[in-house]
């Protein structure tokens, strides 16, 4: 999912929806997430796919893509 988004094969809105669904599964099953996943959740939560609704501090699709790419790089470096 993250790789598809970073590579431009998925929209920011689609990534947001899938990520939130994934995160809720963990939450609802009482599975703790890592600090990195929690940071990514914060970034996804700050994403606004509609430029007319943007507020200060919101991330556009390019900014979210950059954050997801950083997350994936850190994840790969850990492997």
pLDDT of residue 79: 60
Query: Cα–Cα distances in Å, from 68 out to 9, 26, 30, 32, 71?
Result: 14, 19, 24, 20, 5
pTM attached to this predicted model: 0.85
pLDDT of residue 43: 96
pLDDT reported for residue 38: 86
Measured in degrees and rounded to the nearest 5, phi and psi for residue 47 equal -70, 140
CATH number of 2-78: 1.20.120.650
pLDDT by 10-residue block (mean), the chain, 79 residues:
94 96 88 82 95 93 96 80
Tell me, what's the pLDDT at 46?
A: 96
């Amino acid at each position: 999912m993250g790789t598809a988004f970073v590579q431009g094969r998925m929209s920011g809105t689609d990534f947001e929806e899938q990520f939130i669904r994934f995160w809720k599964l963990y939450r609802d099953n009482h599975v703790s997430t890592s600090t990195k996943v929690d940071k990514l959740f914060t970034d996804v939560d700050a994403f606004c796919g509609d430029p007319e609704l943007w507020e200060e501090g919101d991330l556009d699709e390019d900014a979210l893509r950059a954050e997801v790419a950083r997350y994936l790089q850190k994840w790969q470096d850990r492997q």
